[in-house]
Structure 1
């Protein structure tokens, strides 16, 4: 009768509580309750409540006992707890249907879609270069994000479009003898480029909404995808901002060639590069996580090897090299915007010497102040001679840095021993890419910037950025990747211990009861 109130309380809490606290397992009254519960199941002779139960007399809870009809409220409570905490219960293997949490890793399908999107962006960057080289970018003088998707359908619409183009500075200064049929050729180039940009935006936005809504990506990846969507939309705005600069007479000096602002062109190209690299990096990161999690123990060994102090210099050098290549590519956009490739067309000389005359490099004509405070930076970004020289210096430095890093990875004993085969192959591929890019750049100068070579040179810059990013993905170790692999190793070890019958790491009320009952008897 002394424990009847406690029985009543436990019976009332059966629907609410699914656990037994430690005090109920270790305190003296709870020991008595557990003893009486087990006595109802196995007819153990009764003992006084104030004496502990011998360990050899504590029976094991079996699955068969859980299906027997309960003989008391406490027995019913025990069977309910056993069913809820059983390792074979469906609730431990099947997630709750209403769960809205993001997974720890993103799906492989997301990675393949990101890589396909990166390929599309690579193509539109190459096509945009062709549009600029054929001087077709200023053929459409209006920005209509929706209605601009439809080209002119009849001759009257073509005449209206051509009439708007005749008002532009490019037509007045360069193409005053152009007719409608010639106008159609440059119009289709620019229209295709703009339509391709819309396709890139739609094919990225809609899958992003689907993958996030269906929880196919991690929470971190969902934020990245939303950021890339915003970057693509911003890229369209920058594209029109760039084209608009070539449609104003006040931006042109007397006798100059009608063209867009080199600052806006570099911004437009740099934003496209960032969007492309973001898609490529995240797609490769997802695939790398799945490859490492396929065999967590081997993956952890690989990551720990890459984090070795002897590889720290190599990893940081790859990061610095990626920044150098990006800056060199942006300087190439300034060269393209200023048509600086047509100034000096020999290499390695610029005229009769390695360096052009100082008067040409630092021309006071480009300064906008009386005291020439802006002489240096104005010439760097607005003088074609100095812009080409800067690009040559950056390109030569990039080529030398890649070769030096390759030599370091090959002839340093520590780096050669620790660097995995994938890292060595990535480093060798980067050497091939930078060599090809140097050949394309010099050939473009020698042959007075022909369209095929210039377009190939721009594509080579993006390919070189891709190569250094792939190399970085093989030697850098993000904290999140390390944490995922470590958790996978710990989970695999816990499952192995569970299969061998160990009770270490198990949780839940049933595991606590079994651990207390199965405690070995002292000698």
Structure 2
């Protein structure tokens, strides 16, 4: 993102417009963050397959009568998840999981409306240069694609013999949510004036941290999708060893299936990703503390290292406690807090070299 951060004092109208755009973008980012938490709760409560149809418009209305509830329950009873996993579920139990999924979908619709409304104001009033409006339009397409991926994910869990969504498609859904969230945070950050110019820090290192954060979020998606967090609930040992034997990690055929469906390898990769990300965050902190300990970059590096360390500890606690709801949600939320901080850090460092309005 290469929007100038130091606007001249002689342009109050432009500054005011940017302030409004920033408020809109940070609101969208906050809603997406909330969506991540609600989505995690929907998954952990087993609610994601309770609505078996995708109706982007009419689906916004929930059942409003006993007959409508009976019809929705009948559709769910025809699903593999009910027949294999939840046979005998009462209507009240179904309503509990239904409301979680319904709320998740409505929040997605609301985010889409908020983004669309803000985009139309920016575009019609020409509050930003055309290329920035085009970038916002692309972000809107990414948001729409995310909704479609969400349904593709749900549809995978409605296939015969399935009781949950496919891990790869859940990971894709989570990763695209991260991409949209990151783009909103980057755009908002780039429009925010800096109090002091950047004097230290390497964009290359910031890019590495951001890439590692995305990889770790994707690995976490595979853990969630395969329910790998409910196995091997010890640390630092895993199945009695720091590095489990290859016969456990690569027990499936074909070989590539182990990376998405073998809970041992899926969890082990997520552990390794956490170690690498923490090491990178600490390495960046060490370098900046030595070079410019009072710089803005160093302060952000301290914050990033601190929150990555907290996330690692929370991940261990979540594993040892066998993924209670509160810990699973906190772990997912903190992952996106790390992502937001990594994006802000990179955007600030990249803007130091930018030289446009």
Which of the five TM-score ranges fits, normalised by the shorter chain?
over 0.9
Given candidates 222, 225, 232, the residue that maps to 1:334 is: 222
Provide the aligned length of Structure 1 versus Structure 2: 345
Given candidates 264, 278, 297, the residue that maps to 2:169 is: 264
- The 2-side partners of 1:478 and 1:111 are apart by 19
- The 1-side partners of 2:305 and 2:355 are apart by 29
The aligned residue for residue 366 of structure 1 is 253
1:434 aligns with 2:313: no
- The 1-side partners of 2:218 and 2:316 are apart by 17
- 1:126-165 matches, within 5 Å, as 126-165=37-76
Say if 1:366 and 1:382, in contact at 8 Å, map to a contact too. Answer: no
Say if 1:366 and 1:383, in contact at 8 Å, map to a contact too. Answer: no
The aligned residue for residue 356 of structure 2 is 483
Q: 1:118 to 1:237 in 2, by over 3 A?
A: same
Q: 1:219 to 1:106 in 2, by over 3 A?
A: farther
- The 1-side partners of 2:143 and 2:129 are apart by 21
The aligned residue for residue 198 of structure 1 is 109
Say if 1:136 and 1:190, in contact at 8 Å, map to a contact too. Answer: yes
SS in 1 for 2:34: helix
The aligned residue for residue 273 of structure 1 is 178
> Pairwise CA RMSD of aligned residues?
1.9
1:474 aligns with 2:342: no
- The 2-side partners of 1:460 and 1:327 are apart by 15
1:208 aligns with 2:119: yes
1:446 aligns with 2:357: no
The aligned residue for residue 284 of structure 2 is 405
Given candidates 102, 108, 114, the residue that maps to 2:25 is: 114
Q: Which runs of 5 or more residues in structure 2 are unaligned?
A: 1-9
- The 2-side partners of 1:114 and 1:385 are apart by 39
Q: What is the TM-score when the length of structure 2 is the normalising length?
A: 0.92
Say if 1:104 and 1:218, in contact at 8 Å, map to a contact too. Answer: no
SS in 2 for 1:483: coil
1:287 aligns with 2:192: yes
1:420 Cα offset (Å): 5.8
- The 2-side partners of 1:148 and 1:483 are apart by 44
- The 2-side partners of 1:457 and 1:366 are apart by 31
1:394 aligns with 2:270: no
1:176 aligns with 2:87: yes
- The 1-side partners of 2:281 and 2:93 are apart by 45
Say if 2:285 and 2:302, in contact at 8 Å, map to a contact too. Answer: yes
Say if 1:366 and 1:379, in contact at 8 Å, map to a contact too. Answer: yes
1:120 Cα offset (Å): 0.4
- The 2-side partners of 1:207 and 1:282 are apart by 13
